Structure 1
Amino acid sequence: MIVELLKSQPEIALFLSLALGYLIGSFKFGPISLGGVCGTLIVALVLGQTGARIAPDLKNIAFALFIFALGFTGGPQFFANVLRGWRYGLLSVVEIVSVMTLVMIAVVTMKLDPGTAAGLLAGAATESAVIGTASEAVSKLGLASAQVTQLQSNIATAYSVSYLFGLITIVLFTSQIAPLILRINLRDESARLARKLGGDGVLDEGERLALPPLVGRAFLVGPAAGTVVSAFEARFGNNVTIERVLRGGKQLEVDAQFVLAAGDTVFIAGRREAMIEASSAFGEEVSGESFARVLAQRTDVLVTRRDINGITLAQMRERAEPQAGRGIYVAALTRSDTTVPALPGTVVQRGDVLTLVGAPTDVARGAKRLGYVIQQTQKTDFVYLGLGVLVGMAIGRLGATIGGVTLVLGTGGGCLLSGLLFGWLRSHFPVVGSLPSAAAQVLKDFGLATFIAAVGLSAGPDAIRLVREYGLALPAAGILLVVIPGFLSLWIGRMFLKLEAPMLLGAIAGQQCSTPAISALVGVAGNSIPVIGYTITYALSNILLPLMGPVVVGLAAKFG
């Protein structure tokens, strides 16, 4: 009865795969969890034995939305990192070249078909999007429909087998094995690097400082009487700002040329460490009730200015005119939806989101100088979204035959490139193309999960056959496809690129597109310094690896 119900109403199988898959994927074994996508695929493979099938149109639409949103959100960072972050970006190239070479060796030695080869790539590189681009490439090989279905089933099965072993390997390699090879204490190295970048320490995700870094206090003016505000603030590195003055019962606006007088009550805001030092220049501290209505604004700004790209936060403050940077503080830095430590030595890139804090007029001035304010809207520009997907479908029809190997981008590859272009355009012309981050995340999560569930349901009957055929060969290949590129990147990163160990290990996790690996690495490091290296290679590999799906299929069809 249940089998007939699932066959007659496949939407039940779809949502059951999503629910149970994400439940299974949420379980953690130490730092390792399967994740919702892999969990969904495993459940769908099991339910696929019942014969439940999802219409191909739904599968294709879901993947098109996912891959476009992936490119859209990654566009600004991708183009910013192509040249500027070349040292880290080179590691993504190492990943692509070495993984593709190893996959082709496996194709020749193990006689892999195009589907199994693509699934091995997707699983070992822990990049689920490869499943979609490769599946479409298989449908373009000109084979009979039964052969196409079987090869697409092999992609899903090979992915599910190699993903688990690839995930465990990259987590252990970055957080445990690599530090032993480098002969370092990762926690000590991360703490040293945090101090070098200008911080006393960097928090793990979910932690908050008991003493906030930005504070406001009120004082009676004592020894500072007769001092010009700009001179006073400069004494403390412009890390404090006198926002308001109460004189004769009236609140006065303050500018850089304002002169403090004895008996004034001042409201001063800034960084806590500078505030402690500056407090000795005043007299008695008071409650500051008169300043209760002084507002501090918190605004997210997307960095678009070319002259800011590639400089540190400290350099950005130094190069700003004193009046232009007055009263503006960077509270956080976000890159590719990942929070990066906002330390004085942290390098800013175009496409980063800086969270500015200060008086509304100061924040508005800073936002205008840096880029544009990200409006907190819940509306999606469906004209822009629809046009972007249509352009992607048009690009996907392009193809070429090189050395007897037919390469076709397909809808997946086309929508990925279109998403990159439309995301980049949005960052430069923000008046159009609103796609809130929450909406983009839903498109990515639901689109990919729906596509994966549909693939798993179709692959169900062939899954057991493929596992029996290759046995332990696929898990072993999956481990080698992680370890060998990891060792290469570790060697090149230390010997030639001279990268700091915590950032290098983060970059290796990023080139593998592994969120569990960076989470485990941050836990061992004791702070989030490795995230700085992770974001660059993640942005690049997340775009480049899906484009390799059609390449693997084409090469395996010729040489497999």
Structure 2
Amino acid sequence: MSWLEQTLRSYPELAIFLSLAIGYWVGGKSFKGFSLGAVTATLLAALLIGQVGITISPTVKSVFFLMFLFAIGYGVGPQFVRGIAKDGLPQALFAVVVCVLCLVCAVGVAWVAKFDLGSAVGLFAGSQTISASMGLATDAINRLEMVPDKAQAMLNAMPVAYAVTYIFGTIGSAVVLALVGPKLLGIDLVKACKNYEQSLGAGGDKDSEGRSWHRYVLRAYKVAAGGAAVGKSIAQAESMALAQGRRLFIERLRRNGELREALPGEVIQEGDVLAIGGHRDDLLQLLGHSQAEVEDDELLDTPVLGVDVFVSNKSLAGRTLEALAAMPHAHGVYVRRIKRGALSTEIPVLPGTVLQQGDVVTLTGLTKDVQIAAKELGQIDAPSNVADVAFIGAAIFLGGLIGAVVMKVGGIPLTLSTAGGALISGIVFGWLRSIHPTFGRIPEPTVWFMNSVGLNVFIAVVGIDAAAGFVSGLQTLGVSLFLWGIVATTLPLILSMLIGRYLFRFHPAILFGAVAGSRTTTAALGMICEAAKSNVPALGYTVTYAVGNTLLTIWGMVAVLILS
């Protein structure tokens, strides 16, 4: 054991990797639906490992924290800008209100309880589950020109308070939003989500709901005498089906043994064999139940494609799927999945679902149709493991350079800091990427790595540095911190739900998702969707998450300025 301790002191980088290994392993375990999560588990592991006395260069912490903040900004950029600028404005304003409540409640609790600056900021970070705020708070404390020993004592107290208050911050948020909130407001969440789905065009039959929007089947049918399509052009037959709420497309036909392309003006004749894409029931409704399906492998031998498309066409963003389906470029194309936001939140695929810039849409259909639709919507998000590292490095450098500028107001140094600059750089360049997806590609796994590992390396170094004062701090303020943390977590959540329901008048189906997004509590969103038996609450999560993640991170610095 003494050899291991000496090795960790001599090679502190090994202590970081050991903290990550334990943190991710323990954080991935769950008990009755609850888990510590990688961040808290890594912090606790680092606090334990750091008891042997390990010194790590602060540069390591700074590098990984900048990487983390840039990834956060890059992921939320499209939703953040869109939410501030256009149709997400009510949700964005609501997120600002919630973030202010979180700051005021946490700072107020710290002031009433007379906690020191480090404990106060740690209480804010833990009770609001925003570990990233400790990075900006650390920069702010270091700029207060305190006596070094006093500043270090505050920095050591921060992770102690965070660890004590984070557990209820996570569990309590999920319970309050998913279970207590609906009862408090008298809302039947399951019924509210069903009503909201119906307003978006969902049918009452759950077996067939949304099928014509995300299933694609190609079949060959022979047109019999007296069939509904006889004498009509292909375009007229497809329009007739669309008028009845069915999206069917004639892709090819065989006439007198000859294969032909299905041109819009081609008139359908008795005896034609049509290759039709759509749902089987809808095909029978169009052609009649007397029509025989035929085996024609050559006719049906057409390439089918399924691709992810990055939506960047501003003229099409903001329209419903129903409106987009009536456009020429949507011919033969079906939407299987829509992912939105930094967490790739899956959005319900319904006729009334609104498409947004930055969404990743999975299209399916014949290759030629899909390629036309993809070109119109934006750009195919071709699978690739290669990240534009030159773009990442330049963007973080530019953001950090701007953030390094310091201005003094009333003797108080005000600065974005290099960390804040990296966050804003990520937002700007992430938004630019959503408009012009020809540069700055960062694959989703890379964003995850920068986000998750970047934060956890930072947390590991914070924990190892603070380990010396952890035990004494826990003994002194542990119970008091935990109880005050419950107040700091619960109070802003209850106020936010009331404000969202009665002032902003959000639909009950998206209200709790909007509060969860504003507080950036992904665990709470999962519990809300489970309680609602629907993904509809996620529609309130993406814009508010983008705003909340940005503001709550910055609040770490603001809390220091207020309390100091």
TM-score, length of structure 2 as denominator length: 0.92
Per-residue Cα deviation, 1:75-102 (whole angstroms, up to 9, x for no partner): 1121111132122222211221111112
**Measured at CA, do residues 394 and 421 of structure 1 come closer, stay the same or move farther in structure 2, by a change above 3 Å?**
same
CA distance in 2, matches of 1:289, 1:468: 76
Shift of 1:195: 2.6
- AA aligned to 1:299 is V
Q: Distance in 2 between matches of 1:279 and 1:122?
A: 62
- Report the AA paired with residue 222 of structure 2: L
Q: For 1:502 and 1:54, how far apart are their aligned partners in 2?
A: 48
* Alignment deviations for residues 197-237 of structure 1 (CA, whole Å, 9 cap, x no partner): 2225899xxxx99x973322221122123221111111222
- Whether the 8 Å CA contact 1:157–1:463 is kept in 2: the answer is yes
Q: For 1:493-532, what aligned pairs fall within 5 Å after superposition?
A: 493-532=500-539
Q: Distance in 2 between matches of 1:173 and 1:64?
A: 33
- Pairing partner for 1:151 from 154, 163, 168: 154
The equivalent of 1:250 in structure 2 is 258
Q: 1:276 to 1:128 in 2, by over 3 A?
A: farther
Distance 1:197 1:21 in 2: 42
Aligned to 2:75: 73
Equivalent residues in 2 for 1:11-22, closer than 5 Å: 11-22=13-24
Cα deviation, 1:324-374, whole Å, max 9, x if unaligned, reads 322222221111111111211112222212222222222222223222222
- Equivalent residues of 2:215, 2:334 under 8 A apart: no
| Candidates 162, 169, 172, aligned match of 1:169 | 172
Unaligned runs of 5+ residues in structure 1 are none
Q: Which amino acid aligns with 2:196?
A: L
Letter aligned with residue 326 of structure 1: H
Q: Distance in 2 between matches of 1:106 and 1:172?
A: 21
Which residue of 2 is the match for residue 347 of structure 1? 354
**Contact 2:216/2:365 (8 A) holds in 1:** no
Question: 2:223 corresponds to which residue?
Answer: 221
Residues 202, 529 of structure 1: 8 Å contact kept: no
Of stretches 303-312 and 399-408 in structure 1, the one that deviates more from structure 2 is 399-408
Deviation at 1:297, TM superposition (A): 1.5
The answer to whether the aligner puts 1:298 opposite 2:306 as a matched pair is yes
What is the deviation of 1:448? 0.9
Instruction: Give the superposed CA RMSD.
Output: 2.3
- CA drift of 1:165 comes to 1.0
> What amino acid maps onto 1:377 in structure 2?
S
Identity of aligned residues (%): 34
Measure how far apart 1:138 and its partner are.
Answer: 1.9
Aligned AA for 2:188?
A: N
Q: Count the aligned residue pairs.
A: 549
1:3–1:341 Cα change, 3 Å:
same
| Structure 2 CA distance for partners of 1:30 and 1:274, relative to 1, 3 Å | farther
1:26 matched to 2:36: no
Q: What does residue 265 of structure 1 align with?
A: 273
- Is 1:466–2:468 an aligned residue pair? no
Deviates further, 446-455 or 480-489:
480-489
How far off its partner does 1:496 sit? 2.5
- Measured in 2, the distance between the counterparts of 1:160 and 1:501 equals 33
Q: 1:333 aligns with which of 332, 338, 342?
A: 338
Task: State how 1:362-441 maps to structure 2 within 5 Å.
Answer: 362-402=369-409, 405-441=412-448
Q: 1:101 aligns with which of 79, 83, 104?
A: 104
Residue by residue, what CA displacement relative to the aligned partner does 1:42-63 show, whole Å, maximum 9, x if unpaired? 1111111111233222111111
Q: Secondary structure at the match of 2:55?
A: coil
Q: Note closer, same or farther for the CA distance 1:480–1:90 as it changes in structure 2 (3 Å cut).
A: farther
Shift of 1:455: 0.8
Question: Could you tell me how far apart the structure 1 residues matched to 2:31 and 2:495 are?
Answer: 28
The SS at the match of 2:301 is coil
Determine if contact 1:219/1:282 at 8 Å carries over to the other structure.
Answer: no
Q: CA deviation at 1:518?
A: 0.9
- The verdict on how the C-alpha distance between 1:6 and 1:202 changes in structure 2, with shifts beyond 3 A counting, is farther
Read off the aligned partner of 1:230 and give its amino acid letter: A
Q: 1:228 to 1:463 in 2, by over 3 A?
A: same
In 2: Cα distance, 1:333 partner to 1:555 partner: 42
Match for 1:311: what amino acid?
A: R
Whether the 8 Å contact between 1:267 and 1:288 is mirrored in structure 2 is no
Q: 1:259 to 1:148 in 2, by over 3 A?
A: farther
Distance change >3 Å, CA 226–CA 132, structure 1 → 2: same
Q: Which residue of 1 aligns with 2:546?
A: 539
Structure 1 residues 240 and 55: alpha-carbon distance in aligned structure 2, compared to 1, 3 A threshold: same
Structure 2: where are the runs of 5+ without partners?
A: none
Tell me which moved more, 341-350 or 290-299.
290-299
Secondary structure class of the residue paired with 1:244: strand
Q: Matched residues in 1 for 2:350 and 2:297: separation? A: 32
The separation in 2 between residues aligned to 1:277 and 1:12, in whole angstroms, is 67
1:123 CA displacement: 1.2
Deviations 1:495-554 (A, max 9, x none): 122222121011111111111111111111112111111122112111221111211112
Distance 1:308 1:486, change over 3 A: farther
> Which residue identity does 1:98 align to in structure 2?
L
Change (3 A) 1:260 1:403: farther
